[in-house]
Amino acid sequence: MCPVGTPRWADAIDGFSYTGPSTGTTKMDQSESVKIVRANAEDVPRLVPLFDAYRQFYRQKSDLQGAQTFLAERLIRSESVVFLALLGKERQAVGFVQLYPCFSSTTMRPLWILNDLFVVPKARRFGVAKALMQRARDWAKENKADSLWLETAIDNVPAQSLYERLGWKRDNEFYRYNLLV
């Protein structure tokens, strides 16, 4: 498992630098390819800093140990499906998408909730988010799902633009409610 400590990715310094477990620091450029792989429990150390950064984007405090525990439980129990984006020759982990299974009573088919999508800021112009979204769509099709659902912050305009370019439609029929318990 991932030792708890300082996050290993540095999104705001030194160009597109990323320091991952046992990979050292490398530079990425626009010509490098994105590879999307399904994550398993062995990938948790690479996912933790990404997941922690994702949570911080949504104004949560950093909690590397909590992130490690949460991700390991989801993957070991098969409670979610996570795809990891690897970039460049070094195959550095630069993003992920996490899907949760659900069911539609009206269509009597499975659906998937695209709950988490994150790409490190310095790797956001490499097609990583698009590749992750496409893999999520392919996964849903492979598993004969009715649909994929997601929600995003109202002010997350860049993400909304991506979703709409990829064919996602904003729901104008239903209101979403939540109840904190």
pLDDT of residue 22: 30
CATH number, span 18-165:
3.40.630.30
pLDDT of residue 17: 34
pLDDT of residue 126: 84
Distance of alpha carbon 86 from alpha carbon 94, whole angstroms: 6
Buried b (16+ CB within 10 A) or exposed e, 91-123: bbbbbbbbbeeeeeeeeeeebbbbebbbbbebb
Task: Calculate Rg over the CA atoms of the chain.
Answer: 17
pLDDT of residue 26: 37
Burial of 9 (0-12, 13-18, 19+ CB in 10 A): buried
pLDDT of residue 23: 34
Domain ranges of the chain: 18-165
pLDDT of residue 88: 87
pLDDT of residue 32: 66
pLDDT of residue 125: 84
Contact 85, 135 (CB under 8 A): no
- pLDDT of the chain, 181 residues: tens digit per residue: 222 332 323 332 223 333 333 333 334 455 568 999 999 999 999 999 999 999 999 999 999 999 999 999 999 999 999 999 999 888 999 999 999 999 999 999 999 999 999 999 989 988 999 999 999 999 999 999 999 999 998 998 999 999 999 999 999 998 889 898 9
Distance in angstroms between the alpha carbons of the first and the last residue of the chain: 31
Distance of alpha carbon 80 from alpha carbon 113, whole angstroms: 10
Distance of alpha carbon 147 from alpha carbon 158, whole angstroms: 22
pLDDT of residue 27: 45
